[in-house]
Amino acid sequence: MKINKNYENLEQSYLFSTVAKKVNEFTAKNPDKKVIRLGIGDVTLPLCKAVIGAMHKAVDEMGVQATFRGYGPEQGYDFLREAVKKYYLSHGVELELDEIFISDGAKSDLGNILDLFSQDNTVLVPDPVYPVYVDTNIMAGRKVVFADANGENCFLPLPDKGVKADIIYICSPNNPTGAAYNKEQLKKWVDYARELGAVILFDAAYECFIDDNSLPHSIYEIEGAKECAIEFCSLSKMAGFTGTRCGYTIVPKALGKLNKMWLRRQTTKFNGVPYIVQRAAEAVFTEDGQKEIKENLNYYKENAKLISETLKRCNIWHVGGKYSPYIWLKCPNNMTSWEFFDYLLENAQVVGTPGSGFGKNGEGYFRLTSFGSKENTREAMERFEKLFM
C-alpha cells in the first residue's frame, strides 16, 4: 500500500477548523461571554415556505407505492433540470437539458471535476482565493500558479498573457473579497482561455446577490464562454440549502468530450441527489419560491449594508457587501490577519475569518459575512464602534 504523498503538501489545518478551535478554546475559558460569529458563510434563515411545502409533498409521495421513487438519474430529474434551464433563460442564456447536471453542491463538483483533467495541467487561481480550489489541486499533485488580486486592482485580477495555464478558476461575486467582474472584464478572461486552449472553472455560487444588470449572473452571458467554461452553482446561499445540499454544474457540449466525460464520471461515482431534495429545489425556481428567497436575500443584503456603514464610520477600508454576502476589510493599525482575529475575539467577542487563510495576498485583511441574524449583526457592529470609533 502506498499513500498519496501530495496530501503532505497541504497546510496542516484547514482554515475554518483553526477558527473553530480558537473560538472553542475562548468560550471554554469565558462561558459568560456571548460570542457573535460572522465568520463561516453559513446561512441562518430557514428554508422558505414554497420549498418546505414541496419537500413535505415529496415525503408523502415516498410513502405511497404508486409514487415511491428509488434510484434516480445520476444527472438529475428532468423536472429540476427544466427549472434550471428556465432560470438561465431569464438571464439570456440558452442551455440544452443534457448540459445541466444536478449535484449535492458546488464544493463537491469543483473538486470532482478534476477527475476529467490530467495531473500535468497547470492551474491558475486568484490570490486570495477560496481554499478548496488550491487544496484539491495540491491533493492531485498539480502545479498551481496565482493571479494577484489586491487593492490596486480592486481584487479583480485580469489575465497576464505572460502566464500560461490550462485550468483557470474564477469566482464572481468572489469569495472571500465580495468583488464582482463586469462583462468586459470577464470577456478578457474568456478570450485569454480560448487563446490558450484552457478551461475556466467558473464558480457562480453567489450570483443570486447580483441586482445590477451590468454584471453577469453567468459566464455564459459572455460570447465564446461555452467553448471554454464549466459553470458551478449552488442553492446553498440562494435558498438556504447549506444543510439540504443541492447544486448544479453546467458542462456545455461546445466543450467537446468534457460533457460526455462528466456524464460518465457522474454515472460511475455518483448516485444522484435524493428525490425529496430535488423536488424542494424545483420549488426554488417557482414564482412563489423566487419571491420568498429574494426576501431572505434582502435580509442578508441589509446586514451587509449595516456592516459596510459601520466600517465607514470607523474609517476602516473595505470592499464587497454590495453584490455579495462577504465584506473584505483591511485590518486596522497594521495588524496581521490572525492578530486582528485574536484582538476582535478577545475585546469584542466577534468572530470573522482571517484573510491570510485565503492566500498570501489576504495577509492584513479580514472577512466578515452578512449571514448572521439581524440582531446579532447589529450588536456586533455596536461592539465594533466601541472599539474603533
For 49-70, the pLDDT digits (tens) are 999 999 999 999 999 999 999 9
Residue 5 lies in a domain: no
Residues 146, 74: one domain? Answer: yes
Residues 180, 277: one domain? Answer: yes
Residues 302, 347: one domain? Answer: yes
Residues 26, 91: one domain? Answer: no
Residue 7 lies in a domain: no
Residue 4 lies in a domain: no
Closest CA to 95 of 187, 233, 286, 206: 233
The CATH code of the domain that includes 36 is 3.90.1150.10
Query: Other C-beta atoms within 10 Å of 306: how many?
Result: 17
What pLDDT sits at residue 13?
67
pLDDT in tens, 201-258: 999 999 999 998 889 999 999 999 999 999 999 999 999 999 999 999 999 999 999 9
Mean pLDDT for 8-21 is 84
Closest CA to 273 of 108, 74, 66, 4: 74
Average pLDDT, rounded, for the chain: 96
Residues 281, 293: one domain? Answer: no
pLDDT interval class at 389 (50, 70, 90) = confident
Mean pLDDT for 16-37 is 94
pLDDT interval class at 97 (50, 70, 90) = very high
Domain containing 29 equals 13-42+289-388
Please determine, for residue 14, whether its predicted confidence score (pLDDT) is greater than 90.
no
Query: Other C-beta atoms within 10 Å of 96: how many?
Result: 12
Residues 266, 298: one domain? Answer: no
Please determine, for residue 17, whether its predicted confidence score (pLDDT) is greater than 90.
no
Residue 1 lies in a domain: no
Please determine, for residue 297, whether its predicted confidence score (pLDDT) is greater than 80.
yes
Domain end among 233, 257, 285: 285
Residues 68, 191: one domain? Answer: yes
Residue 204 lies in a domain: yes
Residues of the chain above pLDDT 90, percent: 95
Please determine, for residue 40, whether its predicted confidence score (pLDDT) is greater than 80.
no
Please determine, for residue 12, whether its predicted confidence score (pLDDT) is greater than 80.
no
Residue 216 lies in a domain: yes
What pLDDT sits at residue 51?
98
The CATH code of the domain that includes 65 is 3.40.640.10
CB 273 within 8 A of CB 246: yes
Domain end among 236, 265, 285: 285
Residues 19, 79: one domain? Answer: no
Lowest mean pLDDT among 38-47, 135-144, 200-209, 372-381: 38-47
Q: Rounded to an integer, what distance in angstroms lies between the CA atom of residue 325 and that of residue 300?
A: 7
CB 122 within 8 A of CB 165: yes
Residue 77 lies in a domain: yes
Mean pLDDT for 256-268 is 97
Q: Rounded to an integer, what distance in angstroms lies between the CA atom of residue 313 and that of residue 323?
A: 21
Lowest mean pLDDT among 6-10, 16-20, 233-237, 259-263: 16-20
- The structural domain count of the chain equals 2
